[in-house]
Every structure is written in C-alpha cells, then in structure tokens.
Amino acid sequence: MNKTIKDLISGAKLYPVWLHQAYHILSTKYKRTIFGTLWIAGNFVFTSLAITLVFGLLFKQDLKVFLPYAMLGNLAGSACLWVLSEAPEIYISNSSIIKNHAYPFTYYSFEAVARNIMLFLHNLIVFYVFMLFNGTLTVPGWTFVPGMIIVIGCMLTWGTVIGMLSARYRDLRYLIPNLSALLFFLTPLYWRVETLGPDHQWVAEVNPLYHLVSIIRSPLLGVPVTQLNWMYSLGMLAVGAVLWLATFTPFRRRIPFWI
C-alpha cells in the first residue's frame, strides 16, 4: 500500500512534465495545418450543430434551447466516455517509454487525463463564446467544481484499472471501446429522460454515465444537480478507488512485462 501511495505522489509531483507532454501531444496532432488547434473548436461546433439539427428535429425540440443541452452533452459525454474509448491504450501506447524510463506508473494516467481535460476546457470556452452569440448564456453553478473533481477522480481510477486490464488481456483493447458506442446511445446525451415516459426512465437512471454527465452539464445549464446524480457519481468514484487499490497495488510492477 505504501508503495502505491508513493507511486501516486511521485506521479503527481511530475505535473510540469505530464502537463507539458499532454499539451505537446495535442499541439503536435495539428502541426503544419493552416488552422492548427482551431480544428478542435471547429470539429466540436460542427458535430454539435449536426447533432442538434438531427436530434432536435427528431424529438421536436426548440433548437435554440436544445443547442446548449446538446453541446454540453457532447462535451461532458466525450470526457466521461474517455474511460472506455481511450483509457485501454494508456499503457500500451506508452510501451517504449515504460520500458526505457523509470517514471511512476501513475504518470501515464495523469498525462492521459490531463490531455482529455485540456480538450474539455478548450471546448468549454468555445461553448461559452457560442452561447454568447446564441443569446442563451447562463452563469454556471458552483457545483460544477466538485462535479469535475469527481469526474476526474473516476477518470484516474477507472482509467488506470481499464488500462491495466487491457495491457494484460489484449482483446479488451478492442472490446471495451465498443461498449462506449453502446453507452453513447443509451445515455441521454442528446435526448432527454422525459422522452422515455415514466415507465422507461429507469433505463437512464440506472446508467452511471448519465449521472456523471449530469453533475457536469446541469450546473453549466443553471439546473440543480439531483441527489440521485450525486449518489451514483460518488458511488462510481468509491468503487473505482477500491478497484484501483485492489489491482494497482499488487500488479503495477507487471505492467512492463505485459506490454
């Protein structure tokens, strides 16, 4: 246990390195393009507008009201689904570095999560600029801060566990991202729970991803976060922390052999 906590603290202390590396990976992706990182904003806006038009018209929504809901669904959903879509690659994609450098194993989780949070904050600024022109700008609620802390905690714990399992059992590397596609359609990212009717709303309410998305999206829309959202989200964080301790403590030193 002590070595696990020591690994965690050592990884956190390397924040100048993994923050710089996260920014470097993001900026390198758009190197030698004309618009550079503006492509991130362009992709986010284009995807959100396309989704708003399709789902807004499909469910007969007021597009001006539905646009911020869909944009934040896209934003929060991408951040939370990262655990299933990209976390399986945390250790596999860094195999050459792990074999040649004695970084703490938590370093790779911090770097991957930092990259995702940078993308989230970048697109959040784009969202507010867009809402300013849309005339639907809302002052965010303070609960956004603890909500983001819980989501980041879930990303670190669940992401590390899934990264380790995918390094050990390579089939999971391809299986788990497919689950993110299934959750994408089952989670009210671009449709509202009310559209299911009273008898079928349990489909959304038993989905932990819906509650994680809600503790980010609701404060940004000026809507109170429900007690059920907090309970499910804190439960996900607690389970993730237990799983992290149960797997990272005994097996972290086997990661170099698995990759």
**CB proximity list for 116: less than 8 A, separation 6 or greater:** 79, 82, 86, 155
pLDDT recorded at residue 259: 84
- State the helix-helix crossing angle for 2-13 and 15-29, rounded to 10 degrees: 60
Sign of CA dihedral 8, 214, 142, 82: positive
d(CA 70, CA 67): 5
> Which CA distances in Å does 141 have to 53, 66, 77, 222?
27, 19, 19, 6
Q: Return the half-sphere exposure (C-beta side, CA atoms, 13 A cut-off) of residue 99.
A: 8
pLDDT recorded at residue 179: 84
Q: State the pTM of this model.
A: 0.90
Chain centroid to Cα 29, Å, comes to: 19
d(CA 61, CA 65): 8
Sign of CA dihedral 47, 53, 56, 58: negative
pLDDT recorded at residue 1: 64
Residues of the chain with pLDDT under 50: none
